[in-house]
Amino acid sequence: MTASKSSASNKPRLALGLGAALMVSVAPAQAEEDEVLDTLQLHGFLSQALVITDDNDFFGPSSDGGGSLKFTELGANVSLRPHEDVLIAAQVLSRRAGGDSSDARPKLDYGLIDYQLQSNQQRTIGVQLGRFKNPFGFYNQTRDVAFTRPGILLPQSIYFDRTRSLALSGDGVSTYLEERLPQGTLRAQVGVGRVQAGDDLRETLRLDRVDGDLDPDNSAIAQLRYEYDGGRIVTALSHAYAKAHFDSQQDGLSDGDFFFRPWVLSMQYNAELWSLTAEYALRRSGLKGFNDPRFNFDVTGESWYLQYQRRFLDDWQWLVRYDSLTANRDDPTGDDYAASGAGPDHSQFARDWTFGLQWTPTPRVMLAGEYHYIDGTGWLPVQDNPDPSETDRYWNMLLFQVAFRF
């Protein structure tokens, strides 16, 4: 009996001891989980534009009386840091730029695991695995967020919307280095993977008229960027070698390969109330390997723009930009192209004067207006203008946009 009483009297103490031990073991795990959840971030954005043109169409039937509302961007992104050296991030984007409603189906814009091999006051070295945004020029990595663009449209000579899928992102691995120097910051990024070769690229190459599939191939992209004096002066050099293979299913036509090798030099000066930006690109592209020589080509194009932005009244800014595109440096006026019967001469160049105004009444809301006077149709989307012979060389475009973010 004594033993039994003793056992009975020890049960509450034993239960309290086990409970305390369990609480001690669970508390760090719970605290660690709460700490990870504290790093969870959710953001999103939405923009809607009205596009009006007097001739030619851009992002839908813009030359109709009421213009086109078929330029909509909707995105949501999430990031989580399960460890101080590991970041998991993804963004889903629904974008409609002309076409029908099916073009706006949500797609994975980027989704990656970012692991920092080293991070201290002097340098950061990391690697990204998954779908990463291509480091191309100043604006490509954030081009779909209206708040990060200097205007409603980016300079079309560098940041093509007609073949946007090619430059957007890659599926593979990317490494980066950030070196903090006494006078500035040096950043380098190199990525290897497969680019996206969407219907827009196939239509621009006129391969949509041929039975077959255009599939992306292993490609590479790299950028070296230097920021001086806290970003007062920013320079960058970008280079890519993008490839795709066309698997022909048409009798009598062999397979072929597409290649795109651009170099982009970017420079920017930022003062307190104004910024001056310029970018210059040489773009070699072509098709090769087809047994029908009419499909094969190898051309080097040239692009550049000069842009001035002025900030005033805290939440207003305006810009003026001149943007120049030449599809083939050996035929800058397009005369040889037209003489061959391939299409009108003005489809081989574009000279664009842009004037824009932005108002950001709150950090979450932006209203913008923009006017373009364009000579040439070199970057006009083929999707909206399937017959180049029916386009006009000189045309005007007016855009209005409202954007939200959270």
In 3D, which of 334, 335, 347, 329 has the Cα closest to residue 387?
347
Mean pLDDT of 145-157: 95
- CB 199 within 8 Å of CB 208: yes
> Is 79 inside any structural domain?
yes
In 3D, which of 207, 227, 210 has the Cα closest to residue 163?
207
In 3D, which of 310, 352, 287 has the Cα closest to residue 154?
352
| Structural domain count, the chain | 1
- Both tokens of 251, joined, read 């009798």
Q: Minimum mean pLDDT among 3-12, 41-50, 284-293: which range?
A: 3-12
> Is 371 inside any structural domain?
yes
**Amino acid present at 167:** A
Distance, CA of 370 to CA of 352 (rounded, Å): 12
Q: What does the pLDDT read at residue 166?
A: 80
Q: What does the pLDDT read at residue 163?
A: 78
Mean pLDDT of 300-318: 96
> Is 33 inside any structural domain?
no
- CB 281 within 8 Å of CB 304: yes
Q: What does the pLDDT read at residue 38?
A: 82
The domain containing residue 190 runs over which residues? 44-405
Q: Which residue has the higher pLDDT, 217 or 72?
A: 72
Distance, CA of 285 to CA of 259 (rounded, Å): 5
- Both tokens of 311, joined, read 């900030």
Mean pLDDT of 78-86: 94
- CB 324 within 8 Å of CB 303: yes
- Residue 18 Cα to chain centre, angstroms: 56
**Amino acid present at 261:** R
Residue 172 has pLDDT above 70, yes or no: yes
> Is 24 inside any structural domain?
no
> Is 134 inside any structural domain?
yes
In 3D, which of 390, 132, 154, 364 has the Cα closest to residue 264?
154
For 331-365, write each residue's pLDDT tens digit: 999 999 999 988 999 999 999 999 999 999 999 99
pTM: predicted TM-score of the whole model, two decimal places: 0.87
> Is 8 inside any structural domain?
no
> Is 18 inside any structural domain?
no
For 246-289, write each residue's pLDDT tens digit: 888 888 888 888 999 999 999 999 999 999 999 999 999 998 98
For 85-124, write each residue's pLDDT tens digit: 999 999 999 999 987 766 788 999 999 999 999 999 999 9
Residue 29 has pLDDT above 80, yes or no: no
Q: What does the pLDDT read at residue 17?
A: 46
C-alpha dihedral (368, 92, 97, 328), degrees to nearest 10: 100
> Is 207 inside any structural domain?
yes
Q: What does the pLDDT read at residue 12?
A: 43
C-alpha distances out from residue 25 to 20, 35, 102, Å? 9, 16, 52
Q: What does the pLDDT read at residue 15?
A: 42
Distance, CA of 389 to CA of 370 (rounded, Å): 27
Mean pLDDT of 58-68: 92
Distance, CA of 241 to CA of 258 (rounded, Å): 11
Q: Residue 57 belongs to a domain with what CATH number?
A: 2.40.160.10
Mean pLDDT of 154-177: 90
Distance, CA of 119 to CA of 41 (rounded, Å): 21
Distance, CA of 220 to CA of 239 (rounded, Å): 8
Residue 303 has pLDDT above 90, yes or no: yes
Q: Minimum mean pLDDT among 13-27, 82-96, 252-266, 390-404: which range?
A: 13-27
Give the rounded percent of residues in the chain with a pLDDT score beyond 70.
91
